[in-house]
Structure 1
Amino acid sequence: MCRSTQRPELLHANLHRLVEQSEQFNQQKQAHALAVMCPYSQQVFQLLPVLLHYHHPLLPGYVPGGVPVGICNFQPNERQQQFIDELSQQAVNEPLQTAASPEIFGLYSMGSTSSIGQSRESDLDVWVCHSHQMAPERVAWLQQKCLLISKWAEQRQVELNLFLIPDNKFRTDNLASVDGESCGSAQHLLLLDEFYRSHMLIAGKRLVWLFAPPKKLGREYDVFIAEQFANGTLSHDEWLDLGGFARIPAEEYFGSALWQLYKSIDSPYKAVLKTVLMEAYSHEYPDTQLLCRDLKGRFQSANRLDERQDHYMLMLEKVTGYLKSIGDETRLDLVRRCFYLKVCEGEHNDNEHYQWRRTQIKQLTAAWSWSAEKIQLLNNRANWKVEEVKLAYGELLEALMQSYRNLIQFAQRNRISESINPEDIGVLSRKLYVAFENLPGKVQLINLKIAPDLSEPHLSLVQIPEGRSNKAGWYLYKPSPTFKARSERHELEYSPNIAKLVAWAHFNGLLVKQTQLELFNHDSQVSLRHLQEFYGDLARTFAVRTPDPSNLALSRPCEVRQLCVFLNLEQDPTASRQQGPIEFNVNKGDPFSFGRQFENLVGSVDILYRNSWDEIRSMHFNSPMAVVEALTTILGKMHQGATPPESLQVFCYSLSFRSLIRTRFEKLLRECIDLRLAREVGSTIKTLVLGSEEHSIFFERRGVSVQKRETQLAPAQPTHRTLPLADHGDKLVPEIVDVYASEGLMQFFFEGDGQEYNIYILDEANRIETYYQVSGSKEELIQSINRFYTSHQQQEGQSYFAHFNLPQYYDIVQVAGQQKVLPYRTAKED
């Protein structure tokens, strides 16, 4: 009796041909990528394998200690070998070091590199793959080296992002957190899908996945690949397997949508494409046809590298098919324009490797029946000004939010929870809220890298009084020959007060040092000279751009970082005193209650501040109570546990007594800030006389309030005193909760780590609710609260991005016998 033996299934019938083909295609991709790069980018790209293969004090990224070195199968090319030889000559006393057994499995670029979407300004995202068994301290050393290499690249104006990827990353739970360019828990298998469809081998092992049969999915894929290694078809010395997957879990789409919305802040055109792609994927759920599998099939059946294997072209093809299937011609046109603008960035190179890009773009625009005028408008993006940018901004946000809403509805239909962790939801949502939510006092930034330069040579500021057809306030225009012609044109921006309008023009780049201003005033006391002074003070105090806020800052209540006060810009009581003699008496010299008539010499107060979330906020006060209203409002933005502003400046534009008014107001403001942030137990009352009226300002743990008191006319003598804390009925609330109470957002404080815990909830107005001995999962509670916010607030008529102002969550902990408040972290990360 003969025993039948089943021959093991081959990885691929034409494996040898595919290996040769992949090497050929990879060389072509590298040539395409290098052709688009600037010289510094070429240098970084070429030298990166050398920097990670060797370790030497003369090399960028050197870190003392046992840093992992050596890239598997690294064979330097001619340029790399020349660099190595030159370095070896300099390092005669300390030869170049690498490892006998290389510890880095491979370097792989991902993203737009080598695709039609790559431009000279594109960043370089590279995965550095290593064994999951590498000791944590050695991973930390390698991470430090990668950070130093990225800084070296940054000095050459090249954005290089190196991501350490253990070989089992996609076979385990995703415990990462959002950090800079890392999507953290926002994406997991969707990230692997993007990597597989866009990767290019720089140095190291070949990826098994590209050569495996397309129908091998999930568990079947893992078993099959294990057999290939076991039977000798594959060798671990030459091949790396990051895993396969049957489908994308539905739980990932919400986090991915948040991540792409966040990326739109810096890359709006690409983000629109990727967000609609997520929507298309969810539309096909559960039988999603992933682009990475489509590309694998095309690679294995191809005999040459062409546009059918370009992952940007595949993405366009996918979203086009989806939008056509649902009849959305509006977004289809926008997607095409986004694609065109993305692939045409920096399209000015005559290199022969650009020819295939130009050919593809020409074929696409012909297929779309675009007019020459439409193409010319898009080609002229470098010269777009605020009108074009505002239009594009509105279109981009509408498209992004439509995809986001559709993905939220997808999650609700399938009754799924999100896989992204609460901390990452909080950080990403806060970034979106800061970038896009348009609040009454917020200076909104509209140029999401849509156009390079919005500066204007001339700008007009026009005041419209009450009783006209237009809303009363200030309007910003480009100059016209006549006032009538100007009023018939659409304004660039409107604001009820001039300070916010000038701030908007400054932070959006319209108003620069060279801009000529003209002023059409009606009933305010602003003069062109004072307006120019104000802009100069503003521009010297506030940089247009500052570093992005940290994740830690976004997980805490916002704090005032830069604070500027501008006095008497629009209303100046001293101007009316110019008709008669100016009388000054040292005993009646308080500018808040000045002279025999007890005049308040502050007519208007404008406040501009930048907070720790990097928002710019503006406030205007012009009533007789302007001083008190301004003080209580800005103090309300400071919770008791906040740090004082890093900078505080006061400017005054009065015709008379400038220094007196400015100095007095600044002294009062600093005193009030000190009282607000003091940790004294009890309430403090400060007395302030405005004109002939006396006011009491109450400083309490949870806020500041004011009360007018009847008083005899007398020289103003501001005082303050501390009162014992009244029993206001919530004495069981820990004092630390009041210290962190912050207006404008919901705050949840958890006390206790056992099966039961207490919850203290502060609403936007700092009203408190308490719940004792609550049982159940904190994480599930937070997820349900966030889900409620994301799915319901839009239905109440709020703006698109209002629902990104999610609550903040904190743990009350004991440290060295004292209570402290820390941002909430999920238990799985502890």
Structure 2
Amino acid sequence: MSTHKNASSDAAQPSIDYGIDRKQLKTVKERFLQVNAVRLERTQQALSDRQQVFLQLLPLLFHVNHPMLPGYVSHQTPFGVSHYTPSKEQQLAATKLARSFTYRFQPPVGQQIHGLFLMGSCGTVAQSDRSDIDIWVCHSSDVDQEGLLQLRQKCDKISAWAMSIGVEAHCFLMDSEKFKQGERANLSGEDCGSSQHFLLLDEFYRTGLLLAGRIPIWWLCPPEQESRYQDYVDTLIKKRFIPADDSLDFGNVGQIPAGEFVGAGIWQLYKGIDSPYKSTLKILLSEVYADQYPNIEPLSTGFKRAIYNKQLDVNELDPYVMVFRKLEQYLIGRNELARLELIRRCFYFKVGKALSRPQTHNVKSWQRQLLEKLTSEWQWPREHIHSLDAKDKWKVARVIAEQKDIVRELTNSYRFLLDFARRTQATALINSADMTLLGRKLYAAFERKAGKVEWINPGISNSLAEDRLNFYYVDSPASGNSYWGVSTEPLLAKDTEQHDPLKRGDHLIGLLVWCHFNGLLSSHTRCNIVNGAHDVGEFELLNLIRALQKTLPIASQYTDHGDQADTQFSRPMRPTLLQLFINISTDPLSSMRNQGIERLSDQTDSLSYSGMRENLVLNIEQVLVNSWGELITRRYDGESALLRCLRDYLQMIPPGSNKALPTLEIHCFCASRAAAISHRVEELFSDIAACYHGGNKPANSRYVLKVQHDYYILQFNEQQPTIENMGEYSDMLDYLAGNISGKQTQFSPLVFDRHCQSNNPVAALSPYMQAGNIQVFYLCQQHKADIYIIDELGVLNHFSAPCLDKNNFLTPLDLFLQSTLFRQNNETIDTQGDLNTLPQDNIKNVDYYEIINKKSGYTIIRNNPINHEGCPSFFNVQAIGSRDNNGLLLFTIYCDQKEFSEQEYGEQLYNAVAQHILQRRQSKERYPCYITDLDLSLSNEKSGDSTPTNRYLFYKKRLEQALNAALLQV
């Protein structure tokens, strides 16, 4: 008896154990439809007359395919909305759009659109005429791929028509059977993709409005039967309590998997980029659910419980009010009142009804009445409401404070969810592609790193533009404090140190970029520079600002969630724009002027200026924009500023990476030679880019430039650029010959900067360098020959010789080189086999070139090979190198077959050889002798290695220097 009494006492609680009452089912359905009808009416009331037409016609547009109605694709497009017949008003509205339209009855058989649902803020306290409308277009599972394609096209066309009448509508194709199985679309700007399923279903059941079609069967499953949901709804269908074609089954919310909360957290952080207040509410809801795990009662279940208990106050059932009440209860329970105050602000801003402003209609809207009731509960004073209602006009200080509160709340909730995931060993239910995309967008918008310009206004204020900005520099040696600051208040130099700026920065460009990026700088902003310990004038300041405003993006890019933005974030980040500002607050010639020095020569190169060879690039402030929308600033100081900036530029995109170089802008507005300096730096960057990315030179090319008195060499090592100081010209020659360690294993051409080519024979010969051959260049001047030998790897060796007759040094040199080639070929045969199998490109030639010094510069002339016929015989000096037991390289020298070994003579080796040579010379003259043959086959530390030519030349030069020094002494 007691059981029967309990069952009958609650008419809206049918039990599967004791039978299902059709009347009770009808009652529950009517209650849901009653609440649905009120919310649909509220949805219409929030729209303008033109916008109401969209909602009025939406079911009809999916019900028929008519060529003159919006959305038409073809007659084969899936159509026909279940249980829908257009009203006379809807038919009349359709004829106003298409006069030829006449509705013809559509038989229910074959109807392929099972339901149309409005999602989001429709009919809620947060709806306004600016709210977008999300539409679930629920179609039959029988629709094939071609049908889905056409239906997608129809949705897009309907959305486009909606936009033309002021409605932002997003249609989502939904297959209830596939959704129930967990099949979801990939992530897009308006769709949470794979990050959540049951949370989305929870939101659908408590916010979705049935516009036309079948009801959700979830309505008819009592809250107490949620754990037996599938059995219950199967019984409803099998026992024909409801017809099979009367309902849609998306499944039940059930036990939300722990991993969804983490995915939802990531998604809401992402949505917080442009909807911070809504996202803060939603991510905290995920935190509340996670805190209640595993005993969660989702809001949708609470909503349904209220319907079953006949609690039909539509205001209390409002989805946003229900969310707020749940969050309020949670935060009060934790005594987190500061968070509660932020949540109240989020709710207030999301509703968007400014209570301090007069109402526009005679009768208060239900939303305004509800919000007044809530703010009265919160005991908000009128001044506080006035301040909140002025949010669109908030300026920097207030926006920064609000942004910090929002970001702190979003990140704290996300950390809570991550900790929850660790405790429950849950994995975020979001696929790797979506995770990567969201992660990159979040990284770009919120991640802090050195030099990155912070975004302070994520959807808080409409505009941060200021009428006036004053920039000033503080340099206080006593406190060790030096920085740039910006203020909206007028300032004198004496007041700057005590002033609290809106923003401070280490360098001026970083501060200007921050102001531009965050919208403080507009076309109407008046900018002023306060006098102080700096050299920036109004002219320089205004030119810097113009250059930034002309090219740099502003922070609104973060809110662009279109296909183009998704494409950028689907790829690794790459630099897209590089701005360099040279010599800010610096006159590079001031020190020369102070000393009374003017330009002492015709040297106009900005990197080696005047007879003093001054480097006029003293500092560089850099702005980098990347493909993810980040702006990063950096300053380079000192005489090496340009070289460090250049190295970092090359490191961005190494040669061979098949990525486009960033657009480069060079600016200089200093007091002296600004145009020449910017042109020189732009020219240098352009030439280096052409060298490494032009496709005409190998990636391992060596680029040589001159700064002040010194030469620098730039090259890539394992995709990393290095720049080394080679010293002055003679030091450079030693450096370029210094491959004795064998670091250089492939041919590497030398490319000289265009300003290094005057009075530089190495620069003149560098274009003639060829891989695989030995090239000898000689320059005869004033009875002395400078000889430059380029080996098969591009290593340069230099030495000098008397030049009474060029054959005197060329013939022994050629004998040596031919002997070296013979030995190298033998080494190759030893390691590779028969001579017949030796690759032809391993057989090297020796080419000779003469360098002629003319007034116009150096000229290179190719010479014939050395002809040994008729040349005087030479005294053969052969050296053989081998390593002792300690690994030291020792030499044995043969003079006309007489042996002199280092083991025998020790330090007196070269004196002994010199004495022997002098004894053989009839004239006893002490002219130079040359090594004509050198064997290094036993000198290699690794067996089987072929000895490169530059190593032969290195030891030849060392031996000859020692012998010739001994000849002068004995």
**Residue in 1 aligned with 2:344?**
336
2:237 aligns to what? 229
Unaligned runs of 5+ in 1: 1-5, 727-830
* Aligned counterpart for 1:194 among listed residues 186, 191, 203: 203
Q: Structure 1 pair 499/307, CA: closer, same or farther in 2 (3 Å)?
A: same
2 CA distance for matches of 1:464 and 1:314? 52
Could you tell me which residue of structure 2 aligns to residue 501 of structure 1? 511
Report 1:616-631 matches (<5 A): 616-631=631-646
Q: 2:442 aligns with which of 411, 417, 432?
A: 432
Letter paired with 2:756: Q
Are the aligned partners of 1:88 and 1:96 in contact in 2 as well (CA < 8 Å)? no
User: 2:410: which partner in 1?
Assistant: 400
* Alpha carbons of structure 1 residues 303 and 698: separation in structure 2 relative to 1, 3 Å: same
Cα distance between partner residues in 2 of 1:642 and 1:13: 71
C-alpha distance in structure 1 between counterparts of 2:161 and 2:479, whole Å: 58
Where does residue 704 of structure 1 map in the other structure?
721
Aligned to 1:292: 300
Amino acid at match of 1:336: R
In the alignment, which residue of structure 1 is the partner of 2:140?
131
Tell me the SS of whatever aligns to 2:304: helix
2:423 to 413, 437, 441: 413
Q: Following superposition of structure 1 onto structure 2, how do residues 552-631 of structure 1 map, counting pairs within 5 Å?
A: 552-574=567-589, 588-631=603-646
Match of 1:648 among 664, 668, 684: 664
**Which residue in 1 is equivalent to 2:260?**
252
Q: How does 1:25-40 map to 2 (within 5 A)?
A: 25-38=35-48
Query: Residue type of the partner of 1:644?
Result: A
Once the two structures are TM-superposed, the CA of residue 712 in structure 1 deviates from its matched residue by 3.6
User: Which stretch of structure 1 is more off in the superposition, 612-621 or 698-707?
Assistant: 698-707
Q: Establish whether residue 540 from structure 1 lines up as the match of residue 550 from structure 2.
A: yes
Name the counterpart of 1:264: 272
1:374 aligns with 2:384: yes
Counterpart CA distance in 1 for 2:517 and 2:105 is 49
1:582 Cα deviation from its structure 2 partner: 7.1
Q: Secondary structure at the match of 2:84?
A: coil
Instruction: Output the CA distance in 2 between the equivalents of 1:647 and 1:154.
Output: 36
**SS at structure 1 position matched to 2:701:** strand
Bigger Cα displacement from structure 2, 431-440 vs 117-126 = 117-126
CA contact (8 A) 1:197 1:291 kept: yes
**Cα-to-partner distance string for 1:681-705 (whole Å, 9 max, x where unaligned):** 6522211222222221213452222
Secondary structure, aligned partner of 1:51: helix
Q: Give CA-to-partner distance per residue, 1:352-387, whole Å, 9 cap, x none.
A: 785322222222222222222222221221221111
Deviations 1:170-202 (A, max 9, x none): 322345322221111111111100111111112
For the structure 1 residues 307 and 443, does the alpha-carbon distance in structure 2 shift closer, same or farther, using more than 3 Å as the test? same
Amino acid at match of 1:716: H
| In 1, Cα distance between equivalents of 2:152 and 2:453 | 38
Residue 401 of structure 2 is aligned to residue 384 of structure 1: no
SS of residue matched to 1:716: helix
Residue 114 of structure 2 aligns with which residue?
105
1:167 paired with 2:183, answer no
Match of 2:222 in 1: 213
1:689 paired with 2:706, answer yes
Q: Please name the residue that 1:122 is paired with.
A: 131
Question: TM-score, with normalisation over the residues of structure 1?
Answer: 0.80
Displacement of 1:485 in angstroms is: 5.8
> What CA distance in whole angstroms lies between the structure 2 residues aligned with 1:367 and 1:27?
29
- Please give the alpha-carbon distance, in whole angstroms, between the structure 1 residues aligned to 2:166 and 2:478: 52
Mapping of residues 811-830 of structure 1, within 5 Å: none
Q: Does 1:276 align with 2:276?
A: no
- Alpha-carbon deviation of 1:672? 3.0
For residues 191-226 of structure 1, give each alpha carbon's deviation from its aligned partner in whole angstroms, at most 9, with x where no partner exists: 1001111111122222221232112225x2122212
Output the TM-score relative to the length of structure 2. 0.69
Residues 397 and 598 from structure 1, CA distance in 2 versus in 1: closer, same or farther, beyond 3 angstroms? Answer: same
Is this contact kept in 2: 1:264–1:270, CA < 8 A? yes
CA deviation string 1:622-644 (max 9, x = no partner): 32122112121222222552532
Q: Is the 8 A contact 2:711 2:725 kept in 1?
A: yes
Over 3 Å counting, the alpha-carbon distance change for 1:20 and 1:462 in structure 2 is same
The answer to which of 112-121 and 332-341 deviates more is 112-121
Confirm or deny: 8 A CA contact 1:443 1:616 kept in the other structure. yes
Q: Is 1:717 paired with 2:756?
A: yes
Aligned partners of 1:11 and 1:211 also within 8 Å: no
Task: Return closer, same or farther for 1:314/1:608 CA change in 2, 3 Å cut-off.
Answer: same
Q: How far is the alpha carbon of 1:83 from its aligned partner?
A: 2.9
Answer 1 or 2: higher relative contact order, Cα 8 Å, separation at least 6: 1
Distance of 1:323 and 1:537 partners within structure 2:
49
CA distance in 2 between partners of 1:332 and 1:82 (Å): 50
* 1:637 equivalenced with 2:652 (yes/no): yes
Q: 1:11 to 1:410 in 2, by over 3 A?
A: farther
- AA aligned to 1:213 is P
| CA positional deviation for 1:483 | 5.2
Give 1:661's aligned residue.
677
Which residue, 524, 549, 552 being the options, matches 2:534?
Answer: 524
Deviations 1:335-358 (A, max 9, x none): 112112211356766357853222
Partner in structure 2 of residue 746 of structure 1:
none
2:464 to 454, 463, 466: 454
Is residue 692–residue 699 contact of structure 2 (8 Å, CA) maintained in 1?
no
Distance 1:507 1:59, change over 3 A: farther
Pair 1:340–1:395, CA change in 2 (3 A): same
Q: How many residues are paired up?
A: 718
Pick closer, same or farther for the CA change 1:25–1:601 going to 2, 3 Å.
same
Shift of 1:510: 0.8
The structure-2 alpha-carbon separation of the partners of 1:574 and 1:425, relative to structure 1 and needing over 3 Å to count, comes to same
CA contact (8 A) 2:587 2:671 kept: yes
Q: CA deviation at 1:523?
A: 3.6
Q: 1:502 to 1:98 in 2, by over 3 A?
A: farther
- Alpha-carbon contact 1:682-1:700 (below 8 Å) kept: no
CA contact (8 A) 2:306 2:312 kept: no
Query: Partner letter of residue 661 of structure 1?
Result: I
Alignment partners' CA distance in 2, 1:521 and 1:628? 31
Structure 2 vs 1, CA of residues 96 and 210 (structure 1 numbering), >3 Å: closer, same or farther?
Answer: closer
Q: Which residue of 2 aligns with 1:773?
A: none
Distance 1:336 1:700, change over 3 A: same
Q: Is the 8 A contact 2:217 2:247 kept in 1?
A: yes
Following the alignment from structure 1 to structure 2, what is the Cα–Cα distance between the partners of residues 115 and 400?
24
In structure 2, relative to structure 1, the CA distance for the partners of 1:268 and 1:40 (3 Å cut) is farther
Match in the other structure for 1:52: 62
Letter in 1 for 2:150: W
Counterpart residue type for residue 205 of structure 2? Y
User: Cα distance, 1:42 vs. partner?
Assistant: 3.6
TM-aligned CA distance change 1:570 to 1:419, over 3 Å: same
- Please identify, of 381-390 and 80-89, the stretch whose mean Cα deviation from structure 2 is larger: 80-89
Q: Supply the AA of the counterpart residue of 2:547.
A: D
User: Where does residue 827 of structure 2 map in the other structure?
Assistant: none
Task: Give the superposed CA RMSD.
Answer: 3.2
Which residue of 85, 89, 113 maps to 2:99? 89
Q: Deviations over 1:468-497 (max 9, x none)?
A: 547312111111365566654431111111
Q: Is the 8 A contact 1:480 1:486 kept in 2?
A: no
